[in-house]
Chain A
Amino acid sequence: MSISFANGVDARSAARGLVPLCAGAGVYLFFLLAGDGLLGDSDSFWHIKIGQWIIDHRAVPYSDFYSLTKFGESWVSTSWLSQVLYAAPYSSLGWAGPVIMASLAIAVTAAIFIHLLNVHFETARSVLLAILALVLSMHHLLARPHILALPVMVAWVGALMAAADRRTYPSWLLLPLIALWSNLHGGFVLGLALIAPIALEALWSEEPERRVALAARWAVFAIGALAASCCTPYGWNTLFGAARILDLGELLSLISEWAPANFSSFGFFEAALLGLIALAFSAGIVVSLPRVVLVLGLTWMALTHVRNIEAFAFLVPLVLAKPLAGRWKLTQATVGGEIRSAPYVTVFASLTIVAAAWTSTSVYVTHHHFAFTATQTPAAAVDLLEQRQVERIFNSYQFGGYLIARDVKPFIDGRAELYGEKFVMNFFHAVEGRKVDDLLRMLEDFRIEATLLAANSPAAQVLNHVQGWKRLYADEIAVVHVRTDQPLPNAVRAPEASR
């Protein structure tokens, strides 16, 4: 429906908003159909659980109440609004709710991205760049808070860049956007950090006598943005909470999404990086120094942490759009005197697209059952542990979210900033079989009754050979080990009794 509409209207005379809307609808439907791919990370479980708690209690959490090891320690939820936005549709629609939510966010991102690029490029190039950006960030498109923050990021940076392109200062209307961002996800720190280099770009190309005035406006805007980002239930603690996760140091290289870019096999990111270099050397474009700094900064971020590849994918095109357009003379498409559709036709067309998307969604969701990825949901093993009334469980990192969803306290889950660098590092070394002594000491120190480990995890194999532990259950997802010396019926009280 949406596609036939796009073809029917002459793209040149189409009202500007219609192409992004069509592309957005296409992206939305694609991700809805491939919805199971969004449900690949067990962090979604605890995000929804916390969102549910916030809805139920009308309050935000200030301490942890889900974990076995850090129970009661102070912890703030920097993405509380996203959690609520996921939890609300989850309770009424099941997993279809978060999938629709995330797909919608990705679609809005694509639409905003194309809308921003349309100023500089013809539609085909904008759409191609949007597809490239989506393909690059595919590995990180998951039903989690950062996806809901993605459209806000693109809108924010796009608006700042537009202001810099016009050598002016950004509109005050952007401030609610950063406030929204800081409630949605901790990544808003990037938005604050990017104000300075983009301001520099605005000043760079400005005439010298106006520079001071412009710099002052940008400085006031930066302070306003900083203040706006503190408009959360936690106030300025949000800022500290978000900064805290960046302090995790060495640990970040062990968590897969914080790992540095890996080039062992040829991937889309490598292709994009090489393509960027080839573009620079073949087109002969010249870019101002602040833009070069922005491109290098974004590239450096993506090289250091793979999760930043999405920022690279969506923001580098925005930074380079104007110089590229200037070089290629791409904006000649808008000729004066062209025939434009009447506004009511555009509005009607938009409504049709929305209606079509809504119909497709409701039809698809009724007959398709979204399922969470099986490798992170050890249902049978947890059933067994519940039967045995085991309370102190040592679990693999990726099972933490599922345990929270089942109201079982996990040893560890995806909230690395709660557990702290040292604890998580020790945990990873223990589970990866690097330090058997640490593994056994952890099991003793925390009086663990049972372990719930991924089937291929080295620690699970080690426990097969360590005295005092025996394998109780195994399937292709998870392995359960329990202590051998424990009397079977009252497994719960045995450790307490022995102390």
Chain B
Amino acid sequence: MSISITSNVNLRSAPPGLVALCAGAGAYLFFLSAGEILLRDSDSLWQIKIGQSILDHGAMPYTDVYSFTRFGEPWISSSWLSQVLLATVHGAFDWAGPVILTSLAIGVTVAIFIYLLDPYLDPARSILLVTLALLMSGTHFLARPHMLALPVMLAFVGGLMVAADHRSHPSWLLLPLMVLWANLHGGFVLGLALIGPVGLEAVWSSDPKHRFALAARWALFALAALAASCCTPYGWNTLLGATKILSLGKLLSLIWEWMPADFSSISFFEAALLGLIGLAFYRRLVLSAPRIILLLGLIWMALTHSRNIEVFAFLAPLVLAKPIAEQWRTAEAGVRPFGEIQPPYHITIIAALAIAAAGWASTKTFVAHHPFSFVTAQTPVAAVDVLEQRRAQRIFSTAPIGGYLISRDIKAFIDGRAELYGEKFVMDYFDAVEGKNVETLLRLLETYRIDATLLNPTVPAAKMLDHVAGWKRLYADKLAVIHVREDRANAEMLAR
């Protein structure tokens, strides 16, 4: 529906907002129809659980209540608002809810991206760029808080870049966005960090006479943004909590989304990186020093942690757009000739409403006949049923299964909240589960008085426990294997 509207309207005379809206609607419908790819990470399960508990109790968590290894230790939820949003829609529509919400966030991101690029690039190039950005960051599109924060990130940083491009100071209207971001996801720290270099670009390119005043305005804005980011239920603890995860050090290289970019086989990110180098050498394009710093900073972030590839994908084009438009004169294609007939305002609004209505109708029909289901590898239903029957309390499992255990009201050994468990504990856990260190595995099982282990069959530790004295395999299916202590089983048999 949305596609047919785009092709009927002559692009040249289309108002900028409408193209963006169409592209956003297209992206929304794509991710809605491919909704299962958003439900691949069991972190969604505990995020929803926490959101539910915030709704039920009307209070923020200050300590952990979901694990038996860190029970009662201080922990704050830096993405509480996202969790509440996800829990609300999950309560109302089951898994269709989070899928719709996440797809909507992606759609809005796409729309904002195209809207921001409109002054510099023609719609065709913008749409190509947005497709590339979606392909690059597709692996990290999951129904989790960072996706809800993505449009806010793009709007905030885009607002900063617009100010820099105009050699002026950012609008104060960006501050509520920062407040929203700080409540949605811990990634708002990036927004604070980018004020510096973007401000530098504005000051760098401005008239020397105005530099001092402009720098002062930017500094004031930075302070206000810092204050705005503390407008959360936790106050400035949110800021501390968000930086805590960045101090996990070596551990970050083991959690897949924090791993450095992988070049073992060609990926869209590698293609984009090589494409960027090729572009830089093939056509003359000179950037100012602050823009180069911004670009290198984004590339460095993406190389170091693959989860930042989405940041690179959506922000690097914003950094490059103005110089490209000025030096290659791509903007001329987009400049509207004089005397061109713009459609009347009310027609545009009706068209926008039509797109929204079409999106809404498509959603309703699709959701009605399509039940979304969570990826099965991380939800070993039958195995957990067995453990519940045996009333196992202290279960050693992998972190993804931990998320599922929380959703079943069983306290987890570990889950996705690495900042709660701390670097040493999670490192030990990885050594144990990946088979790097048998001694550590056995030590963890003893120290935490584990009743049973629940592991995926391909996990090295599951294979090891088959051979280690004192443990025996109780149950196995395609998704999970359960091992229990031998002596305990014997004791139970004798008791009967």
Contacts and interface: CB of A to CB of B under 8 A. Distances in A.
A299 B435 contact: no
Nearest to A253: B264
Contacts of A332: none
A465 B296 contact: no
Nearest to B462: A436
A458 B438 contact: yes
Contact of A277 (B296, B435, B439, B442): B296
B260 interface: yes
Contact of B464 (A253, A266, A295, A433): A433
A365 to B, nearest CB: 40
A313 to B, nearest CB: 16
Interface string A249-274: 00001000001111110100010001
Contacts of A440: 467
Given A274-B300, A286-B284, A436 B435 contact: yes
B468 A292 contact: no
A467 B468 CA distance: 9
A278 interface: yes
A264 B250 CA distance: 9
Contacts of A466: 467
Interface in B348-403: none
Contacts of B295: 277, 281
B477 interface: no
A261 B270 CA distance: 12
A223 interface: no
A262 B276 contact: no
Interface residues of B, number: 44
Given A296-B277, A300-B274, A433 B285 contact: no
Given A277-B280, A281-B280, A263 B303 contact: yes
Given A260-B263, A292-B282, A434 B438 contact: no
B260 A291 contact: no
A436 B304 CA distance: 32
A372 to B, nearest CB: 27
B460 A433 contact: yes
A276 to B, nearest CB: 7
B287 A292 contact: no
A285 to B, nearest CB: 7
Contacts of B304: 263-264, 266
Interface in A298-320: 299-300, 303-304
Contact of B284 (A261, A264, A284, A304): A284
A476 interface: no
Contacts of A284: 284-286
Given A277-B277, A296-B274, A296-B278, A261 B287 contact: no
A380 interface: no
Contacts of B464: 433, 436, 462
A262 B276 CA distance: 20
Interface string A338-350: 0000000000000
A464 interface: yes
A461 to B, nearest CB: 4
Contact of A264 (B253, B283, B296, B438): B253
Interface string A418-458: 00000000000000111111001000000000000000001
Nearest to A291: B281
A4 interface: no
Contacts of B303: 263, 270
Interface string B277-308: 11011111111010110011001100110000
Given A264-B260, A277-B296, A281-B295, A300 B270 contact: yes
B463 A436 contact: yes
A159 B469 CA distance: 65
Contacts of A276: 277
B285 A278 contact: no
Nearest to B291: A281
Nearest to B469: A465
B263 A458 contact: no
A205 to B, nearest CB: 15
A277 to B, nearest CB: 6
B259 interface: yes
A1 interface: no
B436 interface: yes
A434 B438 CA distance: 11
A27 to B, nearest CB: 29
A9 interface: no
A260 B264 contact: yes
B437 interface: yes
B434 interface: yes
A95 B201 CA distance: 56
A300 B468 CA distance: 44
Nearest to B276: A277
Contacts of B442: 465
B226 interface: no
B466 interface: yes
A263 B260 contact: yes
Interface string B291-334: 11001100110011000000000000000000000000000000
B389 to A, nearest CB: 29
A93 interface: no
Nearest to B460: A434
A371 interface: no
Contact of B296 (A274, A289, A436): A274
B487 interface: no
A289 B266 CA distance: 21
Contacts of A299: 274, 277
Given A300-B274, A303-B270, A282 B292 contact: yes
Nearest to B271: A300
Contacts of A11: none
B435 A434 contact: yes
B434 to A, nearest CB: 7
Given A282-B287, A303-B263, A433-B460, A458 B436 contact: yes
Which of A293, A458, A464 has the largest number of chain B CB atoms within 10 A?
A: A458
A220 interface: no
A433 B282 contact: no
B363 to A, nearest CB: 40
A124 B330 CA distance: 40
A34 interface: no
Contact of A434 (B261, B289, B434, B439): B434
30 contacts: A253-B264, A260-B263, A260-B264, A261-B263, A263-B304, A264-B253, A264-B260, A274-B299, A281-B287, A281-B292, A282-B286, A284-B285, A285-B281, A286-B283, A292-B282, A293-B278, A303-B263, A304-B264, A432-B435, A432-B436, A433-B435, A433-B460, A433-B464, A434-B460, A435-B460, A458-B436, A458-B437, A462-B435, A462-B464, A465-B467
Interface of B: 253, 259-264, 266, 270, 274, 276-278, 280-287, 289, 291-292, 295-296, 299-300, 303-304, 434-439, 442, 460, 463-464, 466-469
Given A437-B463, A467-B467, 6 more contacts: A266-B304, A278-B292, A281-B287, A295-B277, A300-B274, A303-B270
> 8 tightest A-B contacts by CB?
A433-B435, A280-B280, A263-B303, A303-B263, A260-B263, A284-B286, A263-B260, A287-B281
Interface of A: 253, 259-264, 266, 270, 274, 276-278, 280-287, 289, 291-293, 295-296, 299-300, 303-304, 432-437, 440, 458, 461-462, 464-467
